[in-house]
Structure 1
């Protein structure tokens, strides 16, 4: 098959040949003399002249051949030139064939307009001026040849274009075929990737589910551990009240170990809340001195138990902070406890604070303890991470204290670092925090009052008021008998918890009854007529929520003060008890001071009577 360029060259040669050939000119006139005149004038042009003596004959000639132009007499008998021109141009083949009208009479402007509408390109009057006619015909003939040449070239170009399109189509088809093969391979790979992505998503989902179950397990574990702790703590408080004198070493040891156990449970809950972004800060204006003194007070028992040489150095001037005082105290208390635990008895521990520039404070806790190897420095803040040796593990702990330190410091806009010269060389933990106005722009964690630990209850880490969150507060050795005892009903399916709480309240001088069946609450209220109800939330068969809601719907439902006593202490748990109608929420084991404070109020009925009086 010739290439498009070869076909184009051939077409040019053919077009050139057409340009040199004579064209056919149709001469139409009913007078032979004028036909002879036309021929004489036009023969020098070398064109092929064809004669017709009428309009009908002209039409017949046109059907048999192709003409470059028509020389048409206007005044012919039968069918004049206008009618003939009209019929010629009605045919699609001849609608663009140029016509020169020949007339022996003067034509009006209207006749000329009519002729032009019928396709005339010019008029020639008789007598014909040879040079004029010849020049007009010559121009039209040349125009026809050029048009024919252009049509020939166009036809050739169209053929070349079709050939090119076919060639491109073949190339495109070949390209499409290669693309189809590539797409098939890509589709197969995509399928493999989708399978891999699906498997990865499934694995991630399983990990998230496992992590969620772990957090739920930690919360449930803390709750379940709180239940047996409540009667133990109540029993120790009762024993202290019964002794009526400072406790002996055995009592103090049990109280310290119970407080340690409660703190471990609180740490478990804090980790669960942090990993679920449910721990919020209650920021307020405080000072670095108050925070550090509170931390030292928390860590003092462990420092004293180890006989450590402890020193505290504070900046020369007060340092203002915008922070959650209790949570920030927990940061430094954990670091001090860590230093005491990993230092041999009589070790040296120092807490030193200094201002860095005007917007940051640097607090260092250094010890002379077992130190850290270089590879342990990176992992020491990891969750459940411990120094992995028999000696170090014997020092105890869950491996979550430093994780809490790091997370709480970051929530305050700070950062924690650790340095150690090596094993046996001690450690230096440094905490850098924003102060003053800079602290206001620190990341707030979750806003208080959302899903975090936002509550009006005192915090579990408060050294000065460790109420109803499980940290062991030391009860006094004496309890003055109130002049007007409160009638208190204790409801808990855990008999030990109910009995020990009731015994503690009785020793405080109040009247108390206890029951273990949640179905019998209303009957006991009718019988005993209490002012105050301590009600366990999680009981089989009937929850404390249902009991509180039912009591509040009674006619005298608002006369009774109802206190929730539960192992669940997260914000949503407090919200649920509040919505169910509880007046206060105590987390097991409830603190002695909280019990005495609530009982001393005398319940709603007594309060109302006092107000009325």
Structure 2
């Protein structure tokens, strides 16, 4: 028989009966048998102590006060001195009227109750039942506490693991940011400064190449970059798509290799735009690759009439290509200049690549142009809390003969200063820690189209604005101009 409690099933309670007279033990057994518990009997103090040491979970001890070897008080004292039985309930049975001093002595020794002789069965059962219930509830509570402690410990471990993962992620983000800044610093420091314009174009192009790889990595949660998408993105600014052929296995590039390969493709495209197939109006460019057991073999092939002596044009871009392929990616590169143009063969270790689940998802094709006529006379609100980005955006807008309202560094300032009508708005998604969606909704309700700017990937923009134009940082001047051109072309907004 068991007691069922809310915390689970409690086993039968053990009750020890101690008396030197067998007849009295039998009577106690008969009285308490109705309670359905496990009854243990001892004829002496020594036998009682032996039973206690062999049973850890005795809940109640019924002791006769008068016994020949040790009386009940002495036995209770010995029991209480043992740490295992300091909370065990002790009930004295006395055939004589004990004095108040004896009663106090018994309570001091740990007695919880007295039962006089002759024993009234209902009274004895009632007293014992109280302590059975107390014991079972105490045991159930202890088990509940243990379970709670286990759950707290488990949850604490989960939280500690989550914090550790968060710290690891923060360190990884910091590592990537520092690496990116170090590369940018090196690009700025090492790019030859022949003149301001060429220096600016070279630096901007190389940073854009890195940003393209970064954006694609961000969209894939830094799982890898589809090589077809990366190649098309890097070639997009240089020529019409009809002059470029991109073919190869659907493979994914590891995050550690993506930005290096992006710089290589950018430098090859830049050289082709200056001297090769992308400068020749009739030139063609083919980029193809094959993923083999141990290596990826990529062939960059230009079909054109090259200008001058190609061997004499080994500048900083070529050094970037060599350093990226040989040192960073541990690959090999061979260049051949023939009458038809450059053929560049690049061999890279297989460990940088994996079969892509994207199956060659196509990137946005090149071909969009800036139409300054559509922007002339427009009034554009600029909300951006990064001063340099705001300055660059305003400069681009003004170069396109549009009027700038701002720039504003807070949503409150933009809302307060905005006149009755603006043609469009350029909004940073997160301004000073405040999301801009509420303000964007206000503009949208007034029929004002919006271009969002974000440091996150484009898919992170709130779903209600998924149809809006989104530019990811760092912003290219041409990309901003194209976005505004497309914005007015699609909205058909008349200049104010």
Larger CA Rg, structure 1 vs 2 = 1
TM-score between the two structures when normalised by the length of structure 1: 0.33
More RCO (CA 8 Å, sep 6+):
1
TM-score between the two structures when normalised by the length of structure 2: 0.39
Structure number with higher strand proportion: 2
